[in-house]
Amino acid sequence: MNEGIPKRLDDTDPVKICTSCESQCCKLGGAVATENEYRAIVETGNPDYFEKVTDGVYQMKWIEPEGRCPYLEDNLCTIYSVRPLGCRMFPVVHVQGIGPHLVRCELSYHLTSATIIERALLLSSRPEEVADAVLDHRKRASCKFERRLSRFDINYIEIEK
Ligand code: SF4
Ligand code: SF4
């Protein structure tokens, strides 16, 4: 029995669900991008709100005190078509050294098991340096990140091999 997979399985109207939530996941403290993701964002004319943390890994400079992503305007993502993988996979997140987890925001109740597993596998397959940068990013946001994330319940996702 996988306790991390919710029972409601309908994948309906994610835009409506996320709009009513006012983009809580974009107010946790920025996001991390690979070299290709970073280039896709800045080379399509978007402002560069990143800093390089290591070779091929970039981190968004989030805005305090609310932890807002700089690309969020009026609760909408201004780089939606080129947003990084971590943003596209939410509410599935990968916790370094532990594995994939499901953040129980409203959208999580509307995703199918197949979608959740697919997202978990995609996040788990990211190169190690990206996963390390994500962990480092969370450490830098420290207690503020944890406090913001604690608004949600979080479940481990078991992936059967
Ligand atoms: S993915 Fe979840 S937290 Fe993010 S906007 Fe949608 S409902 Fe809100
Ligand atoms: S890039 Fe877009 S989806 Fe990702 S945190 Fe920023 S506003 Fe949200």
- N residues, the chain: 161
Check pocket membership of 86 for ligand 1, CB cut-off 6 A. no
- pLDDT per residue, tens digit, the chain (161 aa), is 344 444 444 546 777 888 888 899 999 877 889 999 999 999 999 999 999 888 888 888 888 888 899 999 998 999 999 999 999 999 998 876 788 899 999 999 989 999 999 999 998 888 777 767 766 766 766 667 777 878 888 888 877 65
Check pocket membership of 23 for ligand 1, CB cut-off 6 A. yes
Tally of CA atoms within 13 A in the half-sphere of 21 that contains its CB: 19
- Specify the amino acid at residue 90: F
Q: Rounded CA gap, 37 and 83, in Å?
A: 7
Q: What is the pTM of this model?
A: 0.84
Classify strands 99-103 and 92-95 as parallel, antiparallel or unpaired. Answer: antiparallel
Give, in order, the Cα–Cα distances in Å from 77 to each of 10, 22, 68, 155: 24, 11, 11, 26
Check pocket membership of 77 for ligand 2, CB cut-off 6 A. yes
Proximal ligand: closest to the CA of 67: 2
**Which residue lies with its CA nearest to atom 2 of ligand 2?**
77
Cβ-Cβ contacts under 8 Å for 42 (sequence gap 6 or more): 48, 50
